[in-house]
Structure 1
Amino acid sequence: MKQSKSQKIRLGLFVIIGTILFVTGIYLIGQRQDMFKKTFTISSYFQNVIGLQKGNNVRYSGIDIGTVKNISMINDSTIKVDMTIEEKIISHIKKDAIATIGSDGLVGNMIVNIVPGKGTEASVKNGDIIESYSKIGADDILTTLGSSSENIAILASDLLKITNAIIEGKGTIGMLINDTLVAKNLSQSIYNLKVTSFKATESVNELNAILTDIKTNENTLLGQMINDTISGRKLKNIVSNLEASSIEIESLLKNSNDLINNINSNGGAVNYILNDTSLVNSLKSTIKNVNEGTDKFNQSMEALKHNFLTRGYFRKLERLEKKKQLD
């Protein structure tokens, strides 16, 4: 009886241990740990792993080359994904390869896809970190679509309000569409603007023609002044002479002012003649007396000509004067 109980205990322990080993084996096989293969580890950093789990497949160019070994949170925006890769693939994966997270089919598990780089870099080594690219998840797409649909609804409502306001004739556009008088005035304004622009173009063309004629035609005065260097030098000399003359005239005027100031301020004869009224009156009186004396002298001479004592003398003088004129 005792032997049967010990046998049962041993059998139970064997079954329990076997079950544990079987479950462990199934777990390891399910996690694809590649226990019997040589592997190496590479890592990559992501902002969002989009539901990726430990044990998910890792693919390179569509071929399964390993599994996800570990997923760890570095900080609030960075997640580190460690991947176990078969050693025989190490020569094909370059350091410029890019890791992305995708889906295994439409409804399959998430996987890590390694996209080959340009192939100019060296191969990865155990413990290397490769670049990553985070795709937009389905939740982000749905959220974006939801926001877009809301914005489209708001935009449609605003457009409907604007259209109704235009139809009712509100605002500038509504007035232009519904008011024919404003439309005619606007059309007339555009026509006037067109005519003005045309005339301005004609004026510019005429001005260009005039300027061209001035530049090329040396017969006109302005053309000679622009094109003839000799005339330009002469004109420059004339301007220089005028400037020198103006300086000399200014100097002469300054000297004249100084002379006048000296005459007015000094007590010379000129100042005395110009400013003394008594001298002027005396000169006037003297001239008057001289004129009167001259007149009386003339009268006396006429009286002597007719006097019987001196009349013969004056007649003799007249004959001599006439004789000289004849000779």
Structure 2
Amino acid sequence: MEKTNAEKIKLGIFVIIGLSVFVAAVYFIGNKQNMFGNTVHLSSVFNNVNGLQLGNNVRYSGINVGTVRNIEMINDTVIKVDMVIQGDILKHIKKNAIATISSDGLVGSMLINIIPGSGEAPSVEPGDVIQSFSRTRTEDMLKTLNVTNENAAVLTSDLIKITHEITEGKGTIGTLLYDREMANDLKETMHYLKMTSQGTNESIANLNKLINSLNKKDNVVGVINDTAVANQIKNIVINLQKSSKKIDLVVDNLNTTIDNAKGGKGVINYLSNDPKLVRKVDSTMTNINEASIRLNQNLEALKHNIFFRGYFKKQEKQKASKKQVQ
């Protein structure tokens, strides 16, 4: 049966719509996979790709700039990942950039995240291998968390034992909590410590008062702190030193004189040890005294002599007039 024109038109519209959808899908997928436009290749080396697959996104500073083109396992510890990057983004990626493998959200697919490097560095060139950094895997975090849980369980068990012993009054802490005698002793000890602390504070206060009083000028230390007084004391000490030297010289001379006298030398020894000379000196002094008495008698006689009486009266008048003037 021949198709009518209406059916032919419907078939043509369906084919056109299908081709349009197919072209749009190819363009969308190709654009997403960077199959169209200017692209370059970069690579990085990892020891574990953590489930990374072909076609996963490559991000630079949070922007999708390419896709994973190839994953090649070099050996058991080296895996090379080839990336297709948009050409206009290449100038922004520096040689010190670091590639890491992370997930798109908590449960999203894996992707490569390129982190910009710090400082100044030249831009990468097509075919360069950038540095990589392997983050901690989920399995490793779970293992660490498992070990942490086990340790927490052990600590909890030990803590329960310790608290149980404390509540039973065992150990130092339990004794302190439940032994009244020790609690009283500790209380008395703290009381005595408090009293001792108060006494110490009073002693320190008194000591501070004493130190402050030393700087006042009404005591010995304060006087010494006065510059003028200190200079006077210094001069006195210097004079005392000089006087001490002179006294030492006089004492030395006196000792020499005494030694000479003891040794039979000098006038003192001669006068003290010669009896004849002593008797002569005594007789001489006696004669001098007698002559002095006689001379006084003769002067008294002259005063009463008729020839010299006027002279002596004149002398007495002059003495009297001088006394009146004074």
Q: Please indicate the TM-score interval, normalised by the length of the shorter structure.
A: 0.5 to 0.7
What amino acid is aligned across from residue 185 of structure 2 in structure 1?
Answer: N
Q: Tell me the residue number matched to 2:322.
A: none
What's 1:164 paired with?
164
TM-score, structure 2 normalization: 0.57
| Number of equivalences | 244
* Counterpart position of 1:221: 220
Q: 1:105, CA displacement in angstroms?
A: 5.0
TM alignment of 1:246-261, pairs within 5 A:
none
Distance (Å, rounded) in 1 between the aligned partners of 2:247 and 2:201: 50
Alignment of 1:128-139 (within 5 A): 128-139=128-139
Change (3 A) 1:237 1:155: farther
What CA deviation, in whole Å up to 9, does each residue of 1:204-243 have, x standing for no partner? 222222222321x2121221012x1133234445556777
Code of the residue aligned with 1:221 in structure 2: it is V
Residue identity matched to 2:67: G
Give the aligned partner of residue 182 of structure 1.
182
Tell me what 1:148 maps to: 148
> Relative to structure 1, is the Cα distance of residues 247 and 50 closer, same or farther in structure 2, using a 3 angstrom cutoff?
farther
**Counterpart check, 1:232 vs 2:221:** no
Contact 1:42 1:129 (C-alpha < 8 Å) held by counterparts:
yes
Classify the secondary structure of the residue corresponding to 2:163.
helix
Alignment match, 1:67:
68
Q: 1:112 deviation in Å?
A: 0.7
2:169 is paired with a residue of what secondary structure? coil
Q: What secondary structure does 1:114 align onto?
A: strand
Q: Distance in 2 between matches of 1:250 and 1:45?
A: 102
Instruction: Identify unmatched segments of 5+ residues in structure 2.
Output: 1-28, 264-289, 298-326
CA distance in 1, matches of 2:182, 2:70: 76
Structure 1 residues 3-14: aligned runs within 5 Å: none
Misfit runs of 4+, over 6 Å: 241-253
Aligned counterpart, 1:309: none
Partner of 2:52: 52
The answer on whether the counterparts of 2:65 and 2:85 sit within 8 Å (CA) in structure 1 is no
RMSD between aligned residues: 4.6
Alignment of 1:109-120 (within 5 A): 109-116=109-116
**Residue 138 of structure 1, CA deviation:** 1.0
1:10-25 to structure 2, matched below 5 A, reads none
Partners of 1:181 and 1:151 in 2: how far apart? 38
% identity of equivalent residues: 44
* 1:82 counterpart = 2:86: no
Pair 213,92 (structure 1): closer, same or farther in 2 beyond 3 Å: same
Match for residue 206 of structure 2?
206
Q: Secondary structure at the match of 2:177?
A: helix
Distance in 2 (alpha carbons) for counterparts of 1:106 and 1:63: 18
What SS does the aligned partner of 1:49 have? coil
In structure 1, runs of 5+ residues without a counterpart are 1-28, 264-268, 272-319
Q: Would the alpha carbon gap of residues 239 and 155 (structure 1) be closer, same or farther in structure 2, given more than 3 Å must change?
A: farther
1:191 aligns with 2:191: yes
Against the structure 1 CA distance between its residues 167 and 117, is the aligned structure 2 distance closer, same or farther, given a 3 Å change threshold?
same
Larger displacement relative to structure 2 (177-186 or 59-68):
59-68
Compared CA separation, residues 240 and 54, structure 1 to 2 (3 A): farther
Aligned with 1:90: secondary structure? helix
8 Å CA contact retained: 1:74, 1:80: no
Q: Which amino acid aligns with 1:205?
A: A
1:220 counterpart letter in structure 2: N
The AA in structure 1 aligned to 2:125 is: K
Q: Flag the 1:131–1:245 CA change in 2: closer, same or farther, 3 A.
A: farther
